[in-house]
Amino acid sequence: MPLRFTRPVLTGLLGLGLLGAMPFTLAQASPEALSRTEAKLTLVVTDGMLPKELRRIKVTKGDQIRWRVSSNTAGALHLHAYRLSATLQAGQPTELAFTAFATGQFRLEWHGASETSAPATGHHAPPLAILEVQPR
């Protein structure tokens, strides 16, 4: 089975001059593995909101996503279409890790602990953020 490294790892190995000592060639690494990146992000929900600069999160299909999420109040976070959710307690961070497998724009929603389910009309509140997954 060929070794697979992400682009940042390969770049680091090349920069250190270590790649030549490795027992494989770049041709052995799949193009998909070379193009994947890891997107780490810290999301701090304050009173049910994110800072404006975090309300649109852009990634590329295939990226490995890792979010560290915390809130000053208890609540639930969920990402539409990805079937991801997390229940948060005030001041206790949690982590969500997933692969961006579907392209499009997806709502990241927050429901405070005092909120009940969606209104009877079926309308959602404005999203906490939008995850935008672009094709490769």
Structure confidence at residue 27 (pLDDT): 39
- Looking at domain 37-134, its CATH class is mainly beta
Q: Where in the chain is the domain with CATH 2.60.40.420?
A: 37-134
pLDDT (average), residues 80-105 = 96
Residue 6 has pLDDT above 70, yes or no: no
State the Cα angle at 45 between 39 and 47, rounded to 5°. 165
User: What per-residue confidence (pLDDT) applies to 123?
Assistant: 52
Is residue 28's pLDDT more than 80? no
Alpha helices per DSSP H over the chain: 7-16, 31-35
Token pair listed for 72? 């000053």
